Structure 1
Amino acid sequence: MYGPQQPTVQFLPPVVVSQYVNQWVTTSIPNYGEVTAYITDYNRRTGMVSMFMYRAPRYQPQFIQVHHSDLVGIAPYYGPIPPRPGRPPRPRPPRPPYTPWYPGQQPGGFIPWIIGQTGLFGQQRYY
């Protein structure tokens, strides 16, 4: 009757989870363990919590969505902040296509070369 007591897990009420949107927290999630997370959204209708999760030792951001009942405990996180999740870096724009040079061409394209060849703007000088 008075044997060893098992820890009891209490579900977090939705109102508690919604207070931590756009904040850093520590929590425990089944199959992930103790994590540091940045909560980005909470859907009251479905109960789903969207977050960027950071786990030791790498602390690489991982975006996950879990039901609020999967969060075991939640508290503000005051430690060193991992990189704030944001947009991934934008890819570089492609280089313009290669333009072949014509004989005697200076950088500038075909039109400056043809003008230089035809002498439209005065006599062409030969050195």
Structure 2
Amino acid sequence: MGEKRKKIYEALVNGATEGHSGSDLYDFVQNRCPKTSGKKIVRASLFALTDPHVTDRNVLDVIYALAIKHRMDEVRPGEDHDDDDDVNAPAPSVEKTKKKKTTSMESDDARAET
């Protein structure tokens, strides 16, 4: 992990451990790392969520909420991000395709060719 991301990660975990949450936690991280961005904070949050040393459920919940909030800030309602998507279209179904059964003679022929 890069040195900058590590500082952001440490500020994030320390702030959540001290009881900061939501915008208060975001401001805490911004004060400790003034040149950081929301994107960098989200990346550090994801690292914290996967870190096996962070085991406090409350800390993880606060970090998760912060990551989701700032990740969703990037996706504004009413903006077209992909013109090909039809919001009202049903999701595609996943069906198992049936495999064609081969006869033992076809299998033998295929093995003989290799």
Same fold by TM (over 0.5)? no
Going by fraction, where is strand more abundant, 1 or 2?
1
Comparing both chains, which one has the higher relative contact order based on Cα–Cα distances under 8 Å and sequence gaps of 6 or more? 2
Larger radius of gyration: 1
Going by fraction, where is helix more abundant, 1 or 2?
2
How high is the TM-score relative to the length of structure 1?
0.19
How high is the TM-score relative to the length of structure 2?
0.20
